[in-house]
Amino acid sequence: MTPRSALGALHIGALMFGLTGVFGKLAAASPAIIVFGRATFAVLALAVFARFASNTAWKRLELRDWRRLAVSGVLLAAHWVTFFMAVKVAGVAVATLGFTAFPAFTVILEGLIFRERIRANEVLLVALVSVGLVLVTPDFNLASQATGGLLWGIASGLLFSLLSLNNRASSGRIPAVQAALCQNVVVALCLLPVAAPGLADVRALDWLWIGLLGVFCTGLAHSLFVASLAVIKARTASVVFAMEPVYGITVAWLLFAETPTLRMLLGGALIIVAIVLSGLMGSASQAKQPAATA
């Protein structure tokens, strides 16, 4: 990849990730069936990418690697199920904005789990996300369907944060595509008992949406992201992927007439700014570590 094509691949990957909620809403199936199908199609797509497009050699996994991949797979399954629950209950926009609160959870949990000091700029990040979520909340009433959907989205963000921290603990040992493929196998196995009774009733059109979700929004999007990082800096990637909720909410606006209010737009803008800051801080800290080691 050239830097220009890698940047284009990043934007395509961000668009595909952003369409996750859209395909989830189009598919008239339960969240368990959607997640099972997504993981199954993602395994096929990632296997093809690993066989024909990836030059990275796979690692021989030890018992501790299998344990961490199993935990990551369970967290990924729970993250996807809660996200699609949010989509079904409150729509794509609310679900996406609830999920994008994960940088705030990551800052807090990193301080608790890895005993890292929370810096002033990270406190600002948590504050931005918190204010953004308050603005996004349609109604401060737990009986409200929209508020319930937002809570499902926030739970999805918390689970994604836990997934990221678990992957951080095992990063460097397992190639990204190998880890993603193994995690999706675990997801499919976790959801198979729940999804199996209803698979025969899924319409052909719904399988199309689920297939697109698994192949494009999971397998291909992840592959583009991994391939582009060989050329593009992590700092640039983090800024580009802050566009993910923008793409998702825009498409939902056009397809489903989910018109966001001014208050929701302001809250979403604050959360997206927090995502950009989180990515910039993360890439800056990674750049400092090799220098400190040297």
pLDDT digits (tens, 9 = 90+) for 260-288: 778 878 887 887 787 777 666 655 555 55
CA dist., res. 237 & res. 12, Å (int)? 12
pLDDT digits (tens, 9 = 90+) for 119-153: 777 677 777 777 777 777 766 666 677 788 888 99
Domain ranges, residue 23 = 3-281
Q: Helices 31-52 and 204-214: crossing angle, nearest 10°?
A: 50
Q: Is 96:249 a contact under the CB 8 Å cutoff?
A: yes
What is the biggest distance separating any 2 CA atoms in the chain, rounded to whole angstroms? 59
218: DSSP letter: I
Asked whether residue 171 carries a pLDDT value surpassing 70, the answer given is no
Token code pair at residue 32: 């368990």
CA dist., res. 194 & res. 84, Å (int)? 15
Asked whether residue 288 is domain-assigned, the answer is no
Q: Is 45:223 a contact under the CB 8 Å cutoff?
A: yes
Q: Is 285:55 a contact under the CB 8 Å cutoff?
A: no
CA dist., res. 27 & res. 24, Å (int)? 5
List of residues 6+ apart from 166 with CB closer than 8 A: 68, 71, 72, 75
Asked whether residue 290 is domain-assigned, the answer is no
Token code pair at residue 177: 């595509």
Asked whether residue 199 is domain-assigned, the answer is yes
The total number of structural domains that make up the chain: 1
Asked whether residue 286 is domain-assigned, the answer is no
The C-alpha angle 100, 104, 110, rounded to 5 degrees, equals 125
pLDDT digits (tens, 9 = 90+) for 62-118: 888 888 899 999 999 999 999 999 999 988 888 888 888 777 787 778 777 767 676
Asked whether residue 213 carries a pLDDT value surpassing 80, the answer given is yes
Asked whether residue 289 is domain-assigned, the answer is no
Q: What is the pLDDT of residue 292?
A: 43
CA dist., res. 152 & res. 131, Å (int)? 18
Asked whether residue 103 is domain-assigned, the answer is yes
Asked whether residue 293 is domain-assigned, the answer is no
Assign 3-state DSSP to the chain and report helix, strand, coil percentages, each to 5. Answer: 80, 0, 20
Token code pair at residue 215: 């192949």
Q: pTM higher than 0.85, yes or no?
A: no
Q: What is the pLDDT of residue 206?
A: 95
Q: From the CB of residue 46, how many other CB atoms can be counted at a distance below 10 Å?
A: 29
Asked whether residue 160 carries a pLDDT value surpassing 80, the answer given is yes
CA dist., res. 100 & res. 160, Å (int)? 10
Asked whether residue 252 is domain-assigned, the answer is yes
